[in-house]
Structure 1
Amino acid sequence: MRKITTKNIKNFPKLKEQLLSWAQQYDEVVWLDSNNYEQKYADFDAVLAVDAFTVLQTDYVDAFDKLKEYQSITKDWLFGYLSYDLKNDTENLVSQNPDHLLFPELFFFQPKKLFLLKQNEIELHYLYAVDDEIEDDWQEILNSYTSFSEESSEVKIKLKITKDSYFEKFQKIINHINRGDIYEMNFCQEFFAENTTINPLQVYQKLNNISNSPFATFLKVSNKFLLSASPERYIKKSGTQIVSQPIKGTAKRSTNKEEDEKLKYDLEHDQKERSENIMIVDLVRNDLSKTALKGSVQVPELCKIYTFDQVHQMISTITSKVAHTKSPVEVLRTTYPMGSMTGAPKVSAMKIIEEVEESKRGLYSGSVGYFTPDNDFDFNVVIRSILYNETNKYVSYSVGGAITAKAKAEAEYEECLLKAKAMREALLNKG
């Protein structure tokens, strides 16, 4: 049983910093922050889970079966991630590209200590709390402060795929489209730095200050870190309702208000971007129908423009209803990986992704989130993210975009650089 204590929050931004600073003492940390972004489907403003009581860590083999068993037995809060390569569990696929990050392909833990922040309150949920443990921790948190005395090494970012190679691979994808193998594919490229030491918390805070995204994540699993400024929800379950919100369509921001409004208007009316988005909406509708009650799949928002600090994004919202008895893990299994990061048809796209990309995606384009004791869940899409293996001294961030018949190589490459800008700034800016 969890002991629950509620506290009032006087200084929300300061408490968020204190919580994250205090959390660094633990080997298992998941921090999720909405950054006060107004979302219709958000349950919390921020969540922190630390200190594993139980753990599920596995490769892709029977991963969803193992997760289903773990989730059904614990019937508690579980936090963790699904890597992109769980595709090999749901389909007859392989991942043979180089992996220098070496994250487990699936990782979830049952936290001893959980903090749920909403408006001016924080709930502390402790598993088997002893004596004055909650009050002692609370005082420690209030006395925590962030110190960055460690020196990070100079970050020298390299490209896994050169610009010329990108154009060659782009043409291969177009050839597949023209042959009818696929009609859309998400093509990603990796930027990386070797023999590099960073302070993960410092880099995360820089990235978060730049982006202020609604699905920001700081994840720590021992010596491996995810620092994410994701704007995208993969999927959420609340009672019997399922919500998926794929992003397809990106435009830059402008500091000039009139120009910024024009960029937003142009994105909303861009037929290429709309067709990309609608293709993925169709894919998600099909995925959701595998677990949905008959006739319940709906599209309440089609190609709506959402504005973030760095970019405008085109987002659609697809919903469905499932039976009370439906396992939450089955909803994940039948929709994974998310269509916005694969393409369509999904299996054909993933086969070609494996051929043309140079790196194992791993946690990138996977998902971080949580299950509740009531069989609900909420998961993001791991994009706009920096991944770091502290032991290997390897830093990585990947970006991608949807390739369709109407895509132009130069424009797609420039969109990748636009998406990479915030991660690059967070790593290179010493201030």
Structure 2
Amino acid sequence: MNEYSFSYRPEFPNWKQKLISWANNHFDYLALFQGNGYEYPEKPFQDSLFVGNTQLTEEELWNDQRNITKVGILGYDLKNQIEKLDSENLAPFNLPDLCFFTPELSFSFQGNLIKSKTTLPNTFWKQVENTTIEEGSTSCSFKRQTTKEEYIATVKKIQEYIIEGETYEMNYCQSFEGSFEQWDPLTAFFRLQATSPMPFASLFKAKHQWLVSASPERFIKRNHLRLIGQPIKGTIRRGATEEDDRLNKERLLASEKERAENLMITDLTRNDLSKVSEIGSVKVDELFGVYALPRVFQMITTVSSTLKEEASLKEIIHATFPMGSMTGAPKIRTMKLIEQLESFKRGWFSGAIGWINESGDFDFSVVIRSIIADFEHKKLYFGVGSAITIDSDPVQEYEECELKSQAIREVLNGRNQS
């Protein structure tokens, strides 16, 4: 990101919550990113906040000549503009495939130091200090849209498709949907942070629609001409003791099934990056890296390449989106099967959120472990999935989904969970 030239060290408590509450009160668009201090390959999200009132058109987003910061979401169903695909499943509410704004104010955080790109008067910080923080409700009545029996039957159907050669691996997802009268996305974000801090956490507001995300996964990052993809495939729960942790980590690393899942998506990522990269520049920096998160170990592979100088933002996104970890392989045929077998329209779930700076560098995470809410409809949903291969055990895959969605379900503390 470009330099943040002006610094301020707040002397009042809860300054970050107050700044975000102030921003929510004054702007239609808001995006908060947190890396939570992780030692993550290629670094986690830079802690930052962007706020503004100006949504970008699609033409403005893809215009590489406009040297402005662009912040927002690529919805999963953008795939239909990239390939000859469709999304006919029902959605709890409609979401734009592209939702980007350009910020009027940008901040970065380093410990208790706030940096901004513009100098701000002391009256501004006095307003922030005087902002009232109200602890809102995060409870919501929600219900899974796929029963355990339906889930297991679908996994078996996917394995039949694998035997028939239709797909090698599919990221099959299920959704939970809820409704509310009062629900506070800011409180939900900070409670989710306390419950499950992640290297790619984000909070996003687009008028009446919100994303609350505790994502562990990077989609794609650009640093000058270096392009980086980091697919996650391979999950095992954390142990109750250090010894359990060590054994579980070793089990994940030694699992032929998990390594096969990861390798298939690694190859897909290499192929995607090669479409916009210099010939022979794509390389695997780390294969099968196992990293500890609050509740799980994840197997992460880092792939990088040298970008062609003439490659545009639109060309890069169209070559790599959606990320292979959320589709499977081969990508296009598998996305058609996903549409056939899943029971919901993914919308923002399994899309990407991030920012593009004035020089064209960017960083995007995968929208997973995330709550998506609409305050006009007073509805929310979240999705969860896992990679299905021929070696998958349907019951174990169901249990993996339960583990991945546990933190969100705890924050929502919903009723009618079935």
Shift, 1:9, TM fit? 3.6
Q: How many residues align?
A: 413
1:35 paired residue number: 36
Match of 2:231 among 213, 237, 246: 246
Paired residues of 1:195 and 1:392 also in contact (CA < 8 A): no
Using the TM superposition, name which of 134-143 and 103-112 deviates more: 134-143
Shift, 1:254, TM fit? 2.1
For residues 6 and 331 of structure 1, the distance between their equivalents in structure 2, rounded to whole angstroms, comes to 33
2:52 paired residue number: 51
1:67 paired residue number: 61
For residues 44 and 164 of structure 1, the distance between their equivalents in structure 2, rounded to whole angstroms, comes to 38
For residues 245 and 79 of structure 2, the distance between their equivalents in structure 1, rounded to whole angstroms, comes to 38
Paired residues of 1:50 and 1:114 also in contact (CA < 8 A): yes
Match of 1:94 among 70, 86, 98: 86
Structure 2 residue matching 1:88: 3-state secondary structure: helix
Structure 2 residue matching 1:50: 3-state secondary structure: strand
Query: What RMSD in Å do the two structures reach over aligned CA positions?
Result: 2.2
Q: Per the alignment, do residues 11 and 89 of structure 1 end up closer, same or farther by CA in structure 2, a change over 3 Å counting?
A: farther
For residues 396 and 162 of structure 1, the distance between their equivalents in structure 2, rounded to whole angstroms, comes to 16
Structure 1 residue matching 2:40: 3-state secondary structure: coil
Match of 1:333 among 295, 313, 318: 318
2:343 paired residue number: 358
For residues 369 and 195 of structure 1, the distance between their equivalents in structure 2, rounded to whole angstroms, comes to 27
For residues 139 and 3 of structure 1, the distance between their equivalents in structure 2, rounded to whole angstroms, comes to 25
Shift, 1:151, TM fit? 5.1
Q: Unmatched 5+ residue regions in structure 1?
A: 58-62
Shift, 1:43, TM fit? 7.8
Paired residues of 1:12 and 1:120 also in contact (CA < 8 A): no
Paired residues of 1:44 and 1:116 also in contact (CA < 8 A): no
Paired residues of 1:9 and 1:15 also in contact (CA < 8 A): no
Structure 2 residue matching 1:313: 3-state secondary structure: strand
Paired residues of 1:218 and 1:228 also in contact (CA < 8 A): yes
Paired residues of 1:281 and 1:316 also in contact (CA < 8 A): yes
| Residue 258 (1) aligns with residue 259 (2) | no
- Give the partner amino acid of 2:271: N
1:60 paired residue number: none
Shift, 1:255, TM fit? 2.6
% identical aligned pairs:
39
Shift, 1:39, TM fit? 2.9
Q: Per the alignment, do residues 244 and 13 of structure 1 end up closer, same or farther by CA in structure 2, a change over 3 Å counting?
A: farther
| Residue 16 (1) aligns with residue 16 (2) | yes
- Give the partner amino acid of 2:191: K
Shift, 1:194, TM fit? 2.6
2:405 paired residue number: 420
For residues 357 and 257 of structure 1, the distance between their equivalents in structure 2, rounded to whole angstroms, comes to 38
Using the TM superposition, name which of 196-205 and 211-220 deviates more: 196-205
Match of 2:394 among 409, 412, 415: 409
User: TM-score of the superposition, structure 2-length normalised?
Assistant: 0.93
Shift, 1:16, TM fit? 2.7
- Give the partner amino acid of 2:52: D
Paired residues of 2:140 and 2:414 also in contact (CA < 8 A): no
User: TM-score of the superposition, structure 1-length normalised?
Assistant: 0.91
Structure 1 residue matching 2:141: 3-state secondary structure: coil
For residues 268 and 281 of structure 2, the distance between their equivalents in structure 1, rounded to whole angstroms, comes to 16
| Residue 175 (1) aligns with residue 160 (2) | yes
Shift, 1:198, TM fit? 1.1
Structure 2 residue matching 1:24: 3-state secondary structure: helix
Structure 2 residue matching 1:293: 3-state secondary structure: coil
| Residue 83 (1) aligns with residue 70 (2) | no
Paired residues of 1:197 and 1:390 also in contact (CA < 8 A): no
Per-residue CA deviation, residues 168-188 of structure 1 (Å, 9 max, x unaligned), is 211211111000011000000
2:109 paired residue number: 117
